Amino acid sequence: MDRNTLIGFVLIGALLIAMFAINSKNRLAYEAEQKRITDSIAAMKPKTDTAALQSDLAKVDSIKLNDNKTSFQTPDQHEQKVILENDVLKITFTNKGAQPELVELKKFKKYDGSPVYIQKGEFNKINYRFNAEQNRSAEIKDLIFGCNPLVTNVDQSKTLNFIAADSMGRKITHSYTIRPDDYMVDFKIDIAGADKLFTQNAINFQWQTEVENIEKDHAYELTQTHICFLENNKYDFEYTGSNSNKTFSNDINWIGVKQQFFINALVTNSKFTNVSTNWVIPADSSNHYLTQVATTGQLKFAGISSNQSVPLKLYYGPSDYNILKKYNNQMENIVPLGSGIFSFVKYINRYFLLPAFDFLQNQIASMGIVIFLLTLLIRLITSPILYKSYLSGAKMKVLKPEVDALREKYKDDQQTFGMEQMKLWRSAGVSPLGGCLPALLQIPIFMSLYYFFQSNIGLRGKEFLWAHDLAAYDSIAKIPFTIPFYGDHVSLFTLTAVLTSLIISLYSMNNMQDNSNPMMKYMPYIFPVMLLGVFNKLPSALTWYYTVSNTITLILQIIIQKYIIDHDKIMAQITENRKRPVKKSKMQERIDAMQESQRKLKELNKKG
């Protein structure tokens, strides 16, 4: 392990710190601004007469109810609730607006053991306006539908139909179909008299969803919450770290809201046009929800006809790559297996890590052991890179006496020392980047695992040793205050990852061939200290992986350096390399010529 190798590992840490800082910068700035705004509003806000306000609201609701009565409703109609469910979903529908009111994911639990509701609360609405009467429109969310009996189809799917009709033959039908063991719900709007009920041959559609807080770390879950969409057949997403909005310049195929492990999405078989969406983050982090998202757009009819059918789909389910892949509409891209400058690592995750992980978890019950075996597999595959790094370090260690002699000879001329050192390395067949590049090549592997363990729902709720949930941090102690860059808890797997990283750094420092720079003595401590702050809030699966990986790396390093690398053979190879003519690339020839010119110019200046 030489200085270049150590610098390579420090670069990995610097990249990780930079990415972490960028991801959290917007959220921290927004929280500070929201607190300032909230405090200012609270200070200026007058006291409210609660009794008078409730009386006024009751009057408004009464007026609104009378105004919304249309020929589609009869006086004896009232709101009813109907349940539609399969093995994975339980959806409670209301006939007021003919839409889902409560959606439970039956196979998942919140961090506190309560049911996971991916849709809950008054904010969640499907809505559009229609021409109820002459010169007067109404909103579908206020319309009371009639509910037909539940139908079980031949393929064991279940269909629920809500129908609203008037005496003029106009009719609106909301049809919902759910299939066994499926998170996708078919939603179809059938319209009779569409030319009378809607203008511009389209429905002006509104979809509102409120994202529930499901995981224990509200702030971290918010950083993992995205607005996802397929625009013009190209996937993209927006972070929800602060209040914002987006207007789409192209048609979209679907739009969804992804929190850390769950998705609520609206899908069309054709296109949504003129789409815009906005999201609002609550000022108080103690709220039960993360964000509220409202999306508007147009659903155009196919052709001009009195009878129209608009096929849609609603996805309520996990952010699971294997489940989303089967829908064949690019929704699997929602799972964040790589983004930004590291978007390419998603291919490592999709085609190597995920299949290997799935195979191991199907064979082994303990998820901690699965991660251990996956880590062992990765380290064995990357061991040739590790070997080349250590071999390069061993070669440079053999040349250290000659490098020291050159340093002493040219101690007052660093430029000439650098030129002579490069000549020495080339004549011996040693690359100065031999130790640094292998370390940098491990960055894609590390980053792919960084994304993989944060987004893999298979880790959620799985226990190992003292960690109760491998998809969240493993807190063994609560700190009564918050330490900047660290947090308010102690993660034991973070400590083991930092400790093993520190041992590797110290071991590498002792074996480094060039430790003349006094600043190098601080290098072993920089990377572990950075890890302490970065890893403390990350999933314990990642810190457990890093602990195992560090341990295996240390063992491999000792074995390779003590028992595999033959220093006598290295010396013989260097001696043989020196007998051969040194081949230079054209670029190297130009660099050497430039350095030689600079050296001669410097000598002339000294003589002058």
For residue range 394-451, list pLDDT tens digits in order: 777 776 777 777 777 777 667 677 777 777 666 666 666 655 666 676 778 888 888 8
Residue 89 φ then ψ, to 5°: -125, 145
The per-residue b/e assignment along 357-376, b for 16 or more CB within 10 angstroms, e otherwise, is beebbeeeeebbebbbbbbe
Task: Give the model's pLDDT for residue 325.
Answer: 93
Strands (E), 213-251: 226-231, 234-239, 244-247
CA dihedral of 197, 200, 201, 202, whole degrees rounded to 10 = -80
Task: Provide mean pLDDT across the span 251-263.
Answer: 91
296: left (phi > 0), else alpha (psi -120 to 50), else beta?
beta
Task: Give the model's pLDDT for residue 590.
Answer: 66
With a cut of 50, say whether residue 64 has pLDDT above it: no
With a cut of 50, say whether residue 168 has pLDDT above it: yes
When pLDDT is cut at 50, 70 and 90, the band that residue 57 belongs to is: very low
Alpha-carbon distance 179 to 85, whole Å? 9
Alpha-carbon distance 504 to 510, whole Å? 10
Alpha-carbon distance 545 to 159, whole Å? 46
Least confident of 9-23, 190-204, 358-372: 9-23
- Integer angstrom CA distances of residue 589 from 384, 423, 595: 31, 12, 10
Least confident of 94-108, 503-517, 581-595: 581-595
Q: What percent of the chain has pLDDT over 70?
A: 72
Domains and CATH numbers, the chain: 3-26+346-579 (no CATH), 82-335 (2.70.98.90)
When pLDDT is cut at 50, 70 and 90, the band that residue 546 belongs to is: confident
Nearest Cα neighbor of 375 from 319, 453, 311 is: 453
Task: Give the model's pLDDT for residue 176.
Answer: 95
Paired tokens of 131:
């021409």
The per-residue b/e assignment along 319-330, b for 16 or more CB within 10 angstroms, e otherwise, is bbbebbeebebb
Mean pLDDT of the chain: 79
Is 548 or 26 the better-scoring residue by pLDDT? 548
Paired tokens of 184:
């996708």
Alpha-carbon distance 549 to 536, whole Å? 17
Task: Give the model's pLDDT for residue 282.
Answer: 84
For residue 220, the tally of other CB atoms under 10 A from its CB is 18
Task: Give the model's pLDDT for residue 537.
Answer: 83
Alpha-carbon distance 447 to 344, whole Å? 10
Task: Provide mean pLDDT across the span 528-556.
Answer: 84
With a cut of 90, say whether residue 88 has pLDDT above it: yes
C-alpha angle 332/259/328, rounded to 5°? 15
Contact predicate 472/215, CB 8 Å: yes
* Helices 523-535, 540-559: crossing angle, 10 deg rounding: 150
Task: Give the model's pLDDT for residue 315.
Answer: 95
Contact predicate 122/132, CB 8 Å: no
Please indicate, yes or no, whether the overall pTM of this predicted structure exceeds 0.85.
no
Strands (E), 459-508: 475-483, 487-491
Q: Which amino acid is at 424?
A: L
